[in-house]
Amino acid sequence: MIRKSKYEEFQKISDLWLKASLQAHSFINENHWIEQKTLLCHDFLPSVETFVFEDKHKLKGFICLGKQNKIAALYVAPEFQNKKIGTKLLNYIRRNKPNLSLDTYAKNAKALRFYQKHNFKIIAEYLEENTSEKKLLLSWALGCLSGYCKKYYADS
């Protein structure tokens, strides 16, 4: 079930975020993520609209929507990845939004494939100051296709 998050869940959301961030961003020093966790819980989450994916009373993922239809975060607990939870969260947000944008690290190939599969286009790249890592700005609009093609074994 997808629903709006509650303030009391911010600590659980932050714990999930840290676990998933450490796994997805092994190219960045883990101290960076540990230092960001408190800010996430106390400053970031209260400033965005957050929806959680909960199943059998267990928080399995979340998505945060910021100003101007920007996806500020989309994370699924590592043990529940590849079970369509990220897709369900993304589609939940897309139902009422004609366009969305987000940032992701260029080295996070799994996230980049996920967003391109869901018709997001890379529209810019920049260097993040805190990490000195390249980030990509992606955008999606209703009715626009990314050009991403899934290749099958028999394709030439």
Kind and range of the H or E element at 92? helix 85-94
Q: Are 92 and 84 in contact (CB under 8 A)?
A: no
Buried b (16+ CB within 10 A) or exposed e, 16-50: bbbebbeebbeebeeeebeebeeebbeebbeebeb
Residue type, 92: Y
pLDDT digits (tens, 9 = 90+) for 56-77: 899 999 999 999 999 999 999 9
How far is the C-alpha of 91 from the C-alpha of 111, rounded, in Å?
A: 16
CATH architecture, range 2-141: 3-Layer(aba) Sandwich (3.40)
% of the chain at pLDDT higher than 70: 92
pTM of the predicted protein model: 0.89
pLDDT digits (tens, 9 = 90+) for 79-129: 999 999 999 999 999 998 999 999 999 999 999 999 999 999 999 999 999
